[in-house]
Amino acid sequence: MSDKQSDKDEKTGLSRRGFLGASALTSAAVAASGLVGGVMTRDSWAAAAKEAQQKIHVAPGELDEYYGFWSGGHQGEVRVLGIPSMRELMRIPVFNVDSATGWGLTNESRHILGDSAKFLNGDCHHPHISMTDGKYDGKYLFINDKANSRVARIRLDIMKCDKITTIPNVQAIHGLRLQKVPYTKYVFCNAEFIIPHPNDGKVFDLEDENSFTLYNAVDAETMEVAFQVIVDGNLDNTDMDYTGRFTAATCYNSEKAFDLGGMMRNERDWVVVFDIPAVEKEIKAGRFITLGDSKVPVVDGRKKDGKDSVVTRYIPVPKNPHGLNTSTDGKYFIANGKLSPTCTMIDIDLLPDLFAGKLKDPRDVVVGEPELGLGPLHTTFDGRGNAYTTLFIDSQVVKWNMEEARRAYKGEKVNYIKQKLDVHYQPGHLHASLCETSEADGKWLVALSKFSKDRFLPTGPLHPENDQLIDISGDVMKLVHDGPTFAEPHDCIMARRDQIKTRKIWDRNDPFFAPTVAMAKKDGIKLEEDNKVIRDGNKVRVYMTSMAPAYGLTEFKVKQGNEVTVVITNMDQIEDVSHGFVMVNHGVSMEISPNQTSSITFIADKPGLHWYYCSWFCHALHMEMVGRMMVEPA
Ligand code: RUQ
Ligand code: CUA
Ligand code: CA
């Protein structure tokens, strides 16, 4: 697979890029319609289809150029894909329970899930990779849980979730973005829904001044909530600038309504801009409150009697805006109009003046409001001055030029729309390679279509989503691949493969299983050697090693009613030799990868002989990797 395109088609003498562009047809579209219009001959059509195919073909044994990280939506996980092949490489359970790895079942994962382990569901939307100097540093990936108001962190070296934080005082964490410059100190996240404070059942009215929602900053290292800011209206999506000073968020419910009609009453809602150093200054000066039992400092960012607070500015934009995207050149916050056919371009360079009170009208920072089509939801960038916006209602991606849109806003007659490409169907997010960093390379764009309708073999009333890969390297967007996915990748990101560095096997000192190591130490156990049963009243801890194709213990004895903890340390140090542990009829399953220690706790509630087995195919004698738990009647 190569990015290099020869300039001329040998037979026709046409520029291949121009030729594909002129047709504006993709292999898929052509194949579906059988359309061979214009100057296209059967041969040139076949060549176009073949070229699109070749672009995404990653031959057996070859590796993809990009990692893609897909949100698993209300399935609760993160998925790892290779781009451009769109092959799914791995799943990272986060807010869900995973039978294969034992996420949500093992002690290590339950330790990370903390109090929220009682929830078996999640709803993730926005995966984002930590950054240094506006570029991915490949350390962490963060993702929100709208369903249970959490934020999770995934360590990208092991591709496991290592911390989860529940945000206090709020309901439904939706938008999530990271500080880009100088490094990801904060994870910013939007609590969507307005609730009464305190929410104790005495007040149900959203008009009440004690009803509000909060903008949240989580410390990326400690994963503790650093501060919260009270806002007017609600909060949808957010992003940060490339200076490290401003973040912005969309609000679709400036009406503080609780019904659909009410939320659409105003012609304009707003974008709220936060001055982050100003918030920090308020907290340092002690000008904050706390809410309920939480100790998190809360700064009031609402207007009082028409006067702005020192930490926020509200910029009116039409209507029920949704996505909020910072352009790669650092110039604009772009709010996507949703119920307005427009996007609003906010000039970030003008924001210091707005905060300093030098502008008469907050709309003075708006420098473009291009009309793009119906239902603009999200915008992405190619690093060449173009923006790409999803049009949910039109089922299209529209490519437009930002500087030309700015000139048009000043009254100049310029056509800033470059192309509209049909996608299938109803796209939500879209994401171009590296578009949220300063390194946007304008190669690939993924449109996450919410409906697939007729694009795949039918699967009953519930259809897959359709994540479409679009080649944006040339002047014209070309749709090259349909990728069915299960509920529901709201968003995805792509990073170059050299930006993600993973471990091949576990480090024995990894903090991921440190609590288990500490427990073993207390029991006087050497995890790498010992195969021992520790009896501690009603609790039994079974320590064993594993080495293909055998467990260190092939039998152990407990009493009915004992609480049994099985701790396994995988002494195989060969890449890819993972073992599993399943105790039959006990709901017990876990992964133990090379050099890893995993543990799981259950009640031995049934007397008799119970087999356990290795669930990960590890050896020719994998079926024989078994053992017996003998439970004596109470
Ligand atoms: S939102 S489809 Cu949950 Cu990112 Cu816009
Ligand atoms: Cu060990 Cu299969
Ligand atoms: Ca509204």
pLDDT tens string 458-500:
999 999 999 999 999 999 999 999 999 999 989 999 999 999 9
Burial code (b: 16+ CB inside 10 Å, e: under 16) for 290-305 equals ebeeeebbbbbbbeee
pLDDT tens figures, 359-391:
999 999 999 999 999 999 999 999 999 999 999
Domains of the chain listed by start with CATH number: 3-50 (no CATH), 511-632 (2.60.40.420)
What value does the mean pLDDT take over residues 226-254?
A: 98
Kindly list the protein residues that place their beta carbon closer than 5 angstroms to ligand 3, a single-atom ion: 252, 263, 266, 269, 320
What value does the mean pLDDT take over residues 392-410?
A: 98
pLDDT tens figures, 25-38:
444 444 333 343 44
- Six-digit token string for 391: 């049009």
> Is the confidence at residue 20, as pLDDT, over 80?
no
Closest by Cα among 409, 384, 383, 381 to 397:
381
The better pLDDT of the pair 43, 301 is held by 301
> Is the confidence at residue 19, as pLDDT, over 60?
no
pLDDT value of residue 557 = 98
Answer yes or no: is the C-beta of 614 below 6 A from any ligand 2 atom: yes
pLDDT tens figures, 156-181:
999 999 999 999 999 999 999 999 99
Single-letter amino acid code for the residue at 603: I
Answer yes or no: is the C-beta of 579 below 6 A from any ligand 2 atom: yes
What value does the mean pLDDT take over residues 407-422?
A: 98
> Is the confidence at residue 51, as pLDDT, over 90?
no
How high does pLDDT run on average in the chain? 93
Answer yes or no: is the C-beta of 407 below 6 A from any ligand 2 atom: no
Which ligand is located closest to the Cα atom of residue 620?
2
Which ligand is located closest to the Cα atom of residue 265?
3
Q: How far apart are CA 20 and CA 582, in angstroms?
A: 54
To test the pocket of ligand 1, the residue of 125, 325, 391 to mutate (highest count of ligand atoms within 8 Å of its CB) is: 125
To test the pocket of ligand 1, the residue of 123, 176, 491, 492 to mutate (highest count of ligand atoms within 8 Å of its CB) is: 491
Instruction: Specify the 3-state DSSP secondary structure of 115.
Output: helix
pLDDT value of residue 461 = 97
pLDDT value of residue 196 = 97
The better pLDDT of the pair 142, 6 is held by 142
Q: How far apart are CA 127 and CA 274, in angstroms?
A: 22
Answer yes or no: is the C-beta of 610 below 6 A from any ligand 1 atom: no
**Ligand 3 center from residue 173 Cα (angstroms):** 19
> Is the confidence at residue 2, as pLDDT, over 60?
no
> Is the confidence at residue 611, as pLDDT, over 70?
yes
Answer yes or no: is the C-beta of 376 below 6 A from any ligand 1 atom: no
Q: How far apart are CA 88 and CA 68, in angstroms?
A: 9
> Is the confidence at residue 23, as pLDDT, over 70?
no
CA atoms within 13 A on the CB side of 582: 13
> Is the confidence at residue 623, as pLDDT, over 80?
yes
pLDDT value of residue 160 = 98
In the chain, DSSP finds a helix count (H) and a strand count (E) of: 9, 40
Which ligand is located closest to the Cα atom of residue 571?
2
For ligand 1, atom 1, name the residue with the nearest CA: 490
pLDDT value of residue 55 = 84
> Is the confidence at residue 39, as pLDDT, over 60?
no
pLDDT value of residue 207 = 81
Question: Do residues 213 and 234 make contact, with C-beta atoms less than 8 angstroms apart?
Answer: yes
> Is the confidence at residue 135, as pLDDT, over 80?
yes
Taking the CA of residue 450 as reference, the ligand 1 atom at the shortest distance is 2
C-alpha 111, offset from chain centre: 22
Residue 40 — pLDDT band, cuts 50, 70, 90?
low
pLDDT value of residue 616 = 97
For ligand 2, atom 1, name the residue with the nearest CA: 579
> Is the confidence at residue 311, as pLDDT, over 50?
yes
